[in-house]
Structures are given as structure tokens and as C-alpha cells.
Amino acid sequence: MVGATMDDMSAAPDMRPAAKHDAAVDLYWIPLGAGAHVVRISGELFEIASALAGRRARSKLYHSALVIAVPEGQFVIEQAPVPGRPDEQRGVVAEGPVGLRCLRRFRAFRYEIRRWRDGQIPDIDQAIASPVRLTEDAAVARRILDVLPSIPTPVWGRDDLGTGEMWNSNSVISWVLVRGGADITTIHPPVNGRAPGWNAGVAVAARRAGHEDA
């Protein structure tokens, strides 16, 4: 249900715990397309074209997600396709279109942004160099959870916000980290890896902060 509060989110099967602390923010780097053959092939083709255009070596592509622990419980933050199970509670706080805005009415062309209490990250067992502990500051962890529902929802895979980079799942994670006050200066994908869309989220979050400070 879009706009759900933290208290509205129901439990799902257990996954690796975020931390043994009262509060923690952990980042996971998951190879793009892990467990999804079509997504992996599409990502590889995208990277081949991008590398050729940029005259650089090819990199491995990663999708990012967060696991946040606070005294009230553990939450997963992730962008994912809208599944064909509308009655399942996944802590959805926002939805957006994929490819073209006019296709949004079709489930297959929508993504959802989750703040899922006791939720799951698919293929977390394939994460590389993860988890990355970003902070154990409870105030930052709570701000990340609180600010997520205000995230913009531009068209996935396009640069509708004029950042020079497409918006995708990595944009969601970088946006919410910046807006939540986390230090992202030392964050980078695993060795020889890229996280397309990351800089788009940072840029849009910085704009929002600039407007609030003006």
C-alpha cells in the first residue's frame, strides 16, 4: 500500500540481520540480474554499449539496497518491479513508471519503492563485498526511514530530471542516504564495478537540499 507508515508494515521471512546494535545502516551491493537471466543479459548489453561510447573497459554492474536496524525493528529499503501479488504487504511507499510515463497503468511497467519491515532482499546471498556499514547513528537511521516516502518517482531508465544519468534503483538508494544525512563520500561499488544511476540520486537530493536552504 503506497504511503504506508512504519507501523503498517508486516513481517516477511527472515534474512541476514543488519547488525547486533540498536541502530545500523547497512548497504548491499548485488550483481545486476542476479537470479534473473533477462535482466543480467540486458545489463551486460547496456554496459557493452556504454563502455564503447565512453572508450573505457567494461565493468560489472551492481544494484544496491539498504537494511536498516532501529529499536522498533529491521527494515529493507529497495526499488523493485511491482510483482503480481497485489495483496502482499511489502511496505510500499511510492510507485513510478518504467520506460514511458504513459505505460504506468500497466503493472509490468511500474516500479515500487519499499520500506519493508522484516522484509527480504532477493539474492542477498549473492551480494559482493557486503554488507557495508555506513553508520550506527540512530538519528540518521530514523531520518532515512522517515524521508523515503517523499522521494521523487521519475521514469525508470530515463534522465527526466536532467542529471546526465538515468534514474534507477541506485538513484533511490543514493537519494535517501543523502537526504537522511548519511556520509556517502567513501561509498563505492566493489572493485571493477559500477552502479549506474547513483550520481543521479545524489544530484537530485542536493537540489532538494539547496531549495530548502534558500
Mean pLDDT of 127-134: 95
d(Cα 148, Cα 175) in Å, to the nearest integer? 9
Percent of the chain with pLDDT over 90: 57
On the question of pLDDT at 51 being above 60, the answer is no
Q: Which three cell numbers stand for residue 172?
A: 533511490
Higher pLDDT, 14 or 97: 97
> pLDDT tens across 181-206, in order?
999 999 999 998 889 999 999 999 99
Helix 169-180 and helix 138-147, axial crossing angle in degrees, nearest 10: 130
Residue 38: per-residue pLDDT: 40
> pLDDT tens across 58-68, in order?
678 899 999 99
> pLDDT tens across 106-120, in order?
877 899 999 999 998
Q: Closest Cα to residue 92, out of 157, 145, 153, 149? A: 149
Provide the residue ranges of all domains of the chain, joining segments of one domain with +.
Answer: 6-213
One-letter amino acid for residue 46 of the chain: F
On the question of pLDDT at 39 being above 90, the answer is no
What does DSSP assign to residue 156? B
Residue 89: per-residue pLDDT: 83
On the question of pLDDT at 154 being above 90, the answer is yes
Residue 8: per-residue pLDDT: 41
What is the residue-averaged pLDDT of the chain?
A: 82
Residue 101: per-residue pLDDT: 83
One-letter amino acid for residue 96 of the chain: G
Q: Can the peptide bond before residue 83 be classed as cis, meaning omega within 30 degrees of 0? A: no
d(Cα 195, Cα 16) in Å, to the nearest integer? 23
Higher pLDDT, 58 or 75: 75
